[in-house]
Amino acid sequence: MDFFIITGITKDISRIELIGILFGHLIFGVALTKLLDWTWLKNLMSEEDKTRMLKSYTWKDLLVDGAIVTVVLGIIFLIISFFL
């Protein structure tokens, strides 16, 4: 039933409005990233742990990371396609 609600909304939104919504979310994300204090991230791992983790990173890990990014982008494009 929720699918029909989404497709009903898509008939009311034009491409210009969709581009404005996406661009607004992008601006908000960048602004929020700049406003937050991220210095605490440096203290999560010691230098030895970082070095050990990076040395153990293999092509399989890279493949999994790439697959995750691909799935997330696919979901985003699927949601966008509802509005076009």
Domain locations along the chain: 2-83
User: pTM value?
Assistant: 0.46
3-state DSSP percent of the chain in helix, strand and coil, to 5:
80, 0, 20
**For the chain (length 84 residues), average pLDDT per consecutive 10?**
55 76 88 83 83 86 92 88 74
**Termini Cα distance of the chain:** 20
The Cα 29–Cα 33 span in angstroms is 6
Query: What pLDDT does 67 receive?
Result: 94
Residue 10's CB is within 10 A of a number of other CB atoms, namely 13
